[in-house]
Structure 1
Amino acid sequence: MLMPITYSEKSQFIKNYSHIAVELASNLKDFDNSVLLFKVLAHALRNNESIVREFDEGIFENPFAFQKGFEALLRHALSVATDSPETDIAAAVERVEEYSTGQLAKFFGVSVMTIHNWLDQGRFVGIKKAGSNKHNKIPDDTEFIMTSGKRILVREVVAMWHKQEAETSHKEESDLAYYTRQIAYYEDKYGDVFERTLGAKEELTAEEETDAQIWQHLLGRQQLEFGDKKK
Structure 2
Amino acid sequence: MISEYEKKEAINQADDIASLLINTNNGSLFYKVISNFVEKSCPTNRLEIKHPNNSKEMEYNLAELIKYMVSVAAEKNPPKMYTTGQLAKYFGVSITTINNWINENRFIGVKRNTINEKIKISENTKWRSPNGELMSVREIVDLWKQNNIRRNVSPQEEISEVENVIKYFESKYGGTYEKIFENKVDLNDEEQRDKEEWKYLLKRKLK
Report the TM-score range of the alignment, normalised by the length of the smaller protein: 0.3 to 0.5
Query: Normalized against structure 2, the TM-score is what?
Result: 0.43
Which structure: greater helix fraction?
Answer: 1
Query: Normalized against structure 1, the TM-score is what?
Result: 0.39
